[in-house]
Amino acid sequence: MWQEIIANFHEHFWLYMSIPFISGLIGYVTKIIAIQMMFAPLEFKGIKPIFGWQGIVPRKAEKMATIAVELMTSKLIKPEEIFARLDPKRIAKEIEVPLMAAAEDITREVAQEFQPGLWEGMPVFARNKLISSVQARAPKIVEHIMSEVQSDVAKYFDIKHMVVNNLTKDKRLLNEIFKKVGKQEFKFFSNAGFVFGFGIGVIQMLSWVLTQGQYPWMLPAFGGFVGFFSDWVALQMMFRPLYPKKIMGVTMQGLFIKRQKEVAGDYAALISKQILTSGNMMEELFTGTHSDKVIALVNRHVKEVIDSQSGIVRPLVVYALGGEQYRNIKEQVAQRILQQLPTTMKYIESYAEDAMDIRNTLVERMQKLTPEEFEGMLRPAFKEDEWSLIIVGAALGFLVGELQIHFML
């Protein structure tokens, strides 16, 4: 019997030797496909709701973005802290030149729009007085607005909406964050598939040799097992154990957890450059969920400035236009200044980025997270549909095993 087995092995040596390599390839390919399934396609492809697929991360974009922002605001950085680092006087100074130019244009345009003849007929000193009074107070308006925002950030700024909106609006960005943060883990995940697959393939080969191919079902069974087991083990090794643990004299720890310092730098760079930017924050202030309160704040300050600074011009204007028209002018000036503010505030981006120092703050605090907290940065990408990835891996392994039967027999 053993002589027959040995003779058969020699006769079909290369065929038998191909089994571990094919098994390793099954493990590797199923991991590559699993990773692709996590991120692609961005939108659902197929026939809804069952026959088709959408990448796990894009499909769960809102939930994953919410998890990300909850981690940010509870453990890393709070909106109140970010805004407290900004100096309202410095902001006013940074935007003074563009804001004053805008104020002059706005005052002239609004006056000409409401009463063309009156503006041209007004004495030059009166026109200049009105323009200069709005100009002089425009930076102060911004200073007061920023001071009020700082005093009650939650009232005017919704960081959760800002982050979730930006990440769900741009699903590629959400994908990029997970890919960048987990780049080493995804590489390990693929390579581990080959290693585990090859090891199981050796057992598969020995079983086939010993049974002389009497049980063809072994190939698809082993293929399915390779896809299932290698996916499951690779996922476990990425995140477990959470804390360093000696196993047979070797210190083991989840690969992702072990890279905490490196990951902190990658994550902080992406978040500070793509999400928690001064541009996004200003956009949230003026167009976000609490923008109505910011608009009311701007309107109040602009109207107060026009009334308090008009001086001797106000009675002339009110007399010529009437009280209703004068109120309309104030409304229009306030609206135009509000429209200009998001553009004007771009001039503070360089100062704001330095002052808020978001990147360094995130790095420092991420490095202090506990392993449990740190795991929550990447694990949700796997956890949401972890078993569906494993089952797909098993199914693909089974199909390749079926093909192997035709190759072996």
pLDDT in tens, 292-317: 887 787 777 766 666 665 544 445 45
pLDDT in tens, 160-207: 888 888 888 888 888 888 888 778 878 887 887 788 778 777 877 777
How many residues in the chain?
A: 409
pLDDT at 105 over 70: no
For residue 322, what pLDDT band results from cuts at 50, 70 and 90? Answer: very low
pLDDT at 283: 82
List the Cα angle 151/153/159 in 5-degree steps.
165
DSSP state letter for 182: T
Instruction: Name all contacts of 290-293 with Cβ < 8 Å and 24+ positions apart.
Output: 290/155, 290/156, 290/157, 290/158, 293/155, 293/156
Statement: residue 106 has pLDDT above 60? yes
The per-residue pLDDT for 50 is: 74
Contacts of residue 228, defined as CB under 8 A and 6 or more positions apart, other chains included, come to: 390, 391, 393, 394, 397
**Residue burial 145-156, b: 16+ Cβ < 10 Å; e: rest:** bbebbbeebeeb
Boundaries of every domain in the chain: 2-58+184-263+386-408, 68-173+266-366
Average pLDDT over all residues of the chain: 76
> pLDDT tens, 11-37?
767 777 887 888 788 778 877 887 888
- Considering the entire predicted model, what is its pTM? 0.70
Note whether 402 and 219 are within 8 A (CB): yes
d(CA 176, CA 36): 13
Instruction: Give the residue, 102 or 217, on which the prediction is more confident.
Output: 217
Predicted local distance difference test score (pLDDT) of residue 328:
62
